[in-house]
Amino acid sequence: MPKTQIREEELELHGHSVSYRIAGEGPPILLIHGVAGSSLQWEPVMRLLARDYTLLAPDLLGHGRSAKPRGDYSLGAYAAGLRDLTVALGIDDATVAGHSLGGGIALQFAYQFPERTNRLVLVSSGGLGREVHFLLRAATLPGSELVLPLISNNRVRDAGTAVSGFLGRLGLRAGPDIAEFARGYGTLADGDARRAFLHTLRAVIDPGGQRVNATDRLYLAEDVPTLIVWGRRDPIIPVSHAGTANRGMPGSRLEVFDDAGHFPQLDEPDRFADVLGEFVSTSEPAHADAAQMRARLAQ
């Protein structure tokens, strides 16, 4: 079987370069990464699903190879940017999947653009409760602008063992949890990336925890087929939030990976791809109904 080709491309939207990975053919799945992450985190899943689906994984503004302007890094702005990207690429609607911060963006996307959302997939998602790891809460404290350059400089990044030990003591598990957080913090040596990271984080988290909560609006997605995937050993966002989402979205499907941490798509990519592919192939896409939405909002 030929190796799946994942193309790295970019286009300009509103004067800013947006980088994205794209692969495969078939019904589109939009894959949204988390804070300090990039589209690279979706590559294993893209390779496994590209035979049956079109996989689109952008680098969010402020992340990866995309531009890092001074601007709006709210969930709403991210959702609007993804709407514009899919329009520019000729994608009318898609299954929208988001990990961590990306889950919060996926929820916002479904709320703002229901006509473009066929299905919703929440992976270790933000926006479902107050609790979040101390490491992210600490990064929102005043003065973190002065500390982040110190922990992300070349000397610290090159000391892989020391970084892994530090993150391990904070409760992160060996494997993708530590590797991805070390990689993410390593990108913050760049001043523009650091500013974008702080703006993004402070839009959704404060020193007390997550400050954006979508649970009061979950009922609006009742008719959107929804898959919730979580790692039982997630040290960043507790697995109890998966139950909150499942209860708040009647008919949603919950899959808990007992041996996975915050990155189930990296801990167990084969199982994740099987679950996602089966969910998309066996569920009917949603069709937005303005009258139904109006009736729900009027309740």
Q: Which residues are catalytic?
A: 100, 234, 262
User: Are 204 and 212 in contact, with CB atoms under 8 Å apart?
Assistant: yes
Q: Is 127 left (phi over 0), alpha (psi -120 to 50) or beta?
A: left
C-alpha Rg value of the chain to the nearest Å: 18
- Residues 39, 46: contact at Cβ < 8 Å? no
Determine the Cα–Cα distance for residues 71 and 117; give it in Å rounded to an integer: 26
Single-letter amino acid, residue 187 = T
How far is the C-alpha of 172 from the C-alpha of 234, rounded, in Å? 8
Rounded Cα distance, 194 and 199, in Å? 9
For residue 70, which phi and psi values (nearest 5 degrees)?
A: -80, 125
Strands 7-13 and 28-32: unpaired
**Quick one: tokens of 29?**
């799945």
